[in-house]
Structure 1
Amino acid sequence: MAFRDFDQNDVSRRSLFRGGGYLAAGAALSTLPFRHALLAHDVSESWPSVASLAERYLAEGKVANLFLTFGWGQEDHAHTVGGGKLGFNRPGAVDENSLYRIYSMTKPVTGMATMMLIDQGDLGLDQPLHEVLPAFRDMQVLVDPEGPLDNTVPAETPITIRHLLTHTSGLGYNIVSKGPLRDAYNANGLVGGRVSRIPIPGFPDVTPAPGLEVWADRLAELPLMYQPATRWSYSASIDLLGRVIEVASGMDFESFLQTRIFEPCGMNSTWMTVPESETARMTDNYGILGGFPLPLDLAAATIYTDEPKVPSGGGGLVSTPKDYDRFLRMLLGYGTLDGVEVIGENAVRVGTSNLLPDTVDTSTSWIAGQGHGAGGRVLDGTFGWGGAAGTIAAVDYNLGLRSALWTQYMPTEAYPMRDEFLKALEADLTAMRAAKAA
């Protein structure tokens, strides 16, 4: 299935950010003083509430860094707010070239890689998964998602590529599933992104499956949590797309990302394995325990210098604010960056639209009242996703804006940073509107 004849007027998109403040101020945003600046620079004066938020988190010692980027249209550089250090006990300051573990911000990258293959006819959006990976032909579904693995019924419909892109396949996830299914995921090494070399209290010591092909085969042997196309449930489906991409393209997953996305986008510092020579610019990651940050993965001994046994399309990448902004800029250009078509225009339009099947219930999910595209949440003209260590990024097609928040702590719910960011952003936009009206 290709998208050359896709009707652009049929596209509906939704947002990574809850609420309307971020989305309601296109006129005010167009007056920002850095709109036509040629080089990246700090624009804290234009965003006093956002800057104050960053300053507060840094001054209180809650995070080592809080760095935000804002870019317009196809401007070469995003502009910055905030800052901080690479780590609490390190002297170097973060900048657009600092390396961050982006975890699930990998998902939109994998989603767009999948859309490339759909656009060129190597996959179909509604193609059954078993046509690519035959082991997924006759799936069983748990009667109780937390119940015994032998209490199942046959899947009523096959998993499709659309289901994988939108977390509606019914697959589980070792960070979401409970009971016997979670135990089976761990026992079979069905893990996604990595965290630390240090044993983490409360987390099982899991040995990853020996490669993506084995990982996928083991996943096919386990039952689904839900019937496909009935519920939105965060899952291992984007990781599985890594194996789908390998089979459909004839290339290993990491090589596909490198040659088809990273190189044409000029993303020269995005990897699943960080070269030892680059660790000096890598941030430290911290676990928040009782409100205090404790070392979780320090750059000097990071697990990300080891080649992963299973390259995770759902959470395996390390990147920089500069690199990821180039990915966002490519999306904002509907697949074209610096005059080079990286992804077909309609593939991006479809991938950033609401792809949820009509039969899916989202009422009790994280995205209730919203939509989901190719690996990212969508709402009112924006597309994006966040990462487990606090990062978040989105493109807004209505405003021609790309934005991202960069920090490193886990779990994300330890601080209300994202909600506070939204409020601060709305306050600054309100002030801009008032100044323009005066």
Structure 2
Amino acid sequence: MNMAASGQAMIGRRGFLAWGGQLAAAGAIGAFAPARAWARAADLYPTIRSQFESYVSSGKLPGVIATIGRAAGLPDIIAVGTQGQGEPTPVDIDSLWRVYSMTKPVTGMAAMLLVDEGKMKLDQPISEFLPEFANMTVLTDPDKSMDAVPAKTQITVRHLLTHTAGLGYSIITKGPLLQAYLDNGITPGVVSRFPIPGQPASAPTPDLKTFSERLAKLPLIAEPGTKWSYSISLDLLGRVIEVASGMDFEVFLKTRIFEPLRMDSSYFQVPKSEAKRLVSNYAPVNGVLFPIDPAPTSIYLDKPAFAFGGAGMVSSARDYDRFLNMLANYGELDGVRVMTTETAKLAMSDLLPSAVSTDGTFASGAGFGAGGRVGKGVNDGIYGWGGAAGTVAFVDPKRKLRAVCMAQYMPSNVYPFHENFAKWVMQDLGLPA
């Protein structure tokens, strides 16, 4: 994830969504009417409300919002604070947030639409769409050298969906491969117009086609299908989607997901007319919030190098709730079917290659589906992911439960929203953690 078009830099390691014990559906009596309905909803969730009020009253965050709902109804809304420090506008369900890696499940579902239509297969080599990936190499010592040997296995669509392609990530990768990524602008996603001290600079990110071609010339960190490693794979998948569909990736998302679901507040570039809804992004430093991307001058007002399928979306809590609502209904919302029931279930199932374990990774103890973590055991069937600026969301289709939390701070592990949000939800639903 890089900085602005010039003087780009990486951000720190992101935190990630931790799952708790068993979830069950809770009644959703709140509506989108503000103030009074929100107050009633907040009363249903005393833990979430008190946590949010604590973060805002202490100055740790200017504002935060959660939506919790069932597939058949509108979500409850718990909103506290404003869109920025010193700003009078309160956060609400239509405020705009940088969701970063919560873009990955959206891209994952877009790919599954093409799988459903037979335009790509899960275990199809991506070189059939992108010939430049036909002859990849694998590093022999990823942290120390660029020595590489020919890959034994082709990268497949499944590998890209599940972070098992052997690709790197500028927020994770170390050693000389990291420098090669930076030199080639393989750092998708933007953070700020300003350089952040201590973060290495990157060349500008190219267009998606060039991005793919440059990436194919670099070695992998592991043999495809053998290791779970958080990666740039969902960004590359955007290129596969546009080749397989014959449609620009961003146009595909708008046509097949955003418009059918009426997600009219999801963007890769925030229109100037909607900038007033954008929340400012902050870096907490020694108890002080440093504005790394103030809303009035946000880098998200500029056109990005391409629609970053792994980290590029800005969205509202309303929109992301509608996306999860569709998944909770196994592909349908408000009488509009976006994907078949079978495809939705497959997308939220464990798609990992049989030899891959997630132990010791961001997804530890779980499986991985189409761009998101899949729970096991008591968490069986729960699907979701978090973003680099503190956002987090999950859906439990079996119990028709969905939840979204939107905050805006970086890096995401400064505060424990990824780890604790699901626990707060369960506590307020009267379920054991």
- TM-score normalised to the size of structure 2? 0.91
- One of 34, 42, 45 as aligned partner of 2:43: 45
Q: Which residue of 2 aligns with 1:413?
A: 413
Gaps of 5+ in 2: 1-15
The answer to whether the Cα contact below 8 Å between 2:330 and 2:397 also exists between their aligned partners in 1 is no
Instruction: Sort the Cα spacing of 1:249 and 1:120 in 2 relative to 1 into closer, same or farther, 3 A.
Output: same
| Mapping of residues 287-306 of structure 1, within 5 Å | 287-306=283-302
Quote the Cα distance in structure 1 between the aligned partners of 2:422 and 2:267: 29
Secondary structure class of the residue paired with 1:307: coil
Deviation at 1:130, TM superposition (A): 0.9
1:125 aligns with 2:126: no
Give the Cα separation in 2 of the matches to 1:358 and 1:305: 42
Give the one of 273, 276, 280 matched to 1:277: 273
SS of residue matched to 1:82: strand
The answer to whether the aligner puts 1:165 opposite 2:161 as a matched pair is: yes
- The structural deviation recorded for 1:36 is 4.8
Shift in Å at residue 399 of structure 1? 1.7
Show the counterpart of 1:9. Answer: none
Distance 2:294 2:31 in 1: 34
Q: Distance in 2 between matches of 1:248 and 1:56?
A: 48
List structure 1 runs of 4+ shifted beyond 6 angstroms.
Answer: none
* 1:230 alignment partner, one of 207, 226, 231: 226
Structure 1 residues 242 and 376, CA, compared in 2 at 3 Å: closer, same or farther? same
Aligned to 1:337: 333
Aligned match for 2:70, one of 63, 69, 72: 72
Corresponding residue for 2:100?
A: 103
1:252 CA displacement: 0.8
The 8 Å contact of residues 386 and 418 in structure 2, kept in 1 or not, is answered as no
In structure 2, C-alpha distance between the alignment counterparts of 1:109 and 1:161, rounded to whole Å = 15
Residues 309, 381 of structure 1: CA spacing in aligned structure 2 closer, same or farther, 3 A cutoff?
same
| Distance of 1:253 and 1:336 partners within structure 2 | 22
Structure 1 residue ranges without an equivalent (≥5): 1-14, 434-438
> Is contact 1:242–1:253 with CA below 8 Å preserved after alignment?
yes
Counterpart Cα distance in 1 of 2:417 and 2:136: 40
Question: Which structure 2 residues correspond to residues 356-375 of structure 1 after superposition, within 5 A?
Answer: 356-375=352-371
8 Å Cα contact 1:166-1:375 kept in structure 2: yes
| TM-score normalised by structure 1 residue count | 0.90
Could you tell me whether the CA contact under 8 Å between 2:170 and 2:181 is conserved in 1?
A: yes
Cα distance in 1, alignment partners of residues 423 and 363 from structure 2:
19
SS in 2 for 1:189: coil
Q: CA deviation at 1:267?
A: 0.6
Alignment of 1:144 onto 2:146: no
- CA deviation profile, 1:377-424 (whole Å, cap 9, x unmatched): 011121111110000011111221110101100001111233343443
Q: Is the 8 A contact 2:19 2:423 kept in 1?
A: no
Kindly indicate whether the alpha-carbon contact (under 8 Å) linking 1:352 and 1:373 is maintained by their aligned counterparts in 2: yes
* Secondary structure, counterpart of 1:94 in structure 2: coil
The CA deviation string for residues 59-110 of structure 1, in whole angstroms up to 9 with x for no partner, is: 11101111110111131x2111132100012110010110000000000000
Match of 2:308 among 312, 318, 322: 312
Contact 1:229 1:359 (C-alpha < 8 Å) held by counterparts: yes
Equivalent runs, 1:256-271 vs 2, <5 Å: 256-271=252-267
Who is 1:84 aligned against? Answer: 81
Between the aligned partners of 1:252 and 1:425, the Cα distance in structure 2 is 38
Distance 2:368 2:225 in 1: 13
Q: Indicate how the Cα distance of structure 1 residues 54 and 37 shifts in structure 2: closer, same or farther if over 3 A, else same.
A: closer
- For residues 422 and 322 of structure 1, what CA distance do their matches in structure 2 show? 19
- For this pair of structures, how many residues does the alignment match? 408
Describe the shift of the 1:133–1:251 C-alpha distance in structure 2 as closer, same or farther (beyond 3 A).
same
Change (3 A) 1:250 1:241: same
What CA distance in whole angstroms lies between the structure 2 residues aligned with 1:36 and 1:285?
31
248-257 or 416-425, which deviates more: 416-425
Structure 1 CA distance for aligned equivalents of residues 288 and 29 of structure 2: 41
Report the CA distance between 1:368 and its aligned residue.
1.9
CA RMSD of aligned residues (A): 1.6
- Equivalences for residues 413-432 of structure 1 within 5 A: 413-430=413-430
Q: In structure 1, how many angstroms separate the alpha carbons of the residues matched to 2:429 and 2:258? A: 33
Separation in 1, partners of 2:243, 2:207? 14
Q: What residue identity is the alignment partner of 1:121? A: G
1:54 is aligned, of 52, 55, 59, to 52
Q: CA 1:423 to 1:382, structure 2 compared with 1: closer, same or farther past 3 Å? A: closer
The answer as to whether partners of 1:242 and 1:312 remain within 8 angstroms in 2 is yes
1:328-367 alpha-carbon deviations (Å, 9 max, x no partner): 1111111111111112221111111000010113222121
Give, in whole Å, the separation in 1 of the partners of 2:32 and 2:180.
51
Corresponding position of 1:19: 20
- Return the alpha-carbon distance in structure 1 between the equivalents of residues 156 and 162 of structure 2: 10
Code of the aligned partner of 1:74? A
**Which one-letter code corresponds to 2:162 in the other structure?**
T
Q: Aligned partner of 1:203: which letter? A: Q
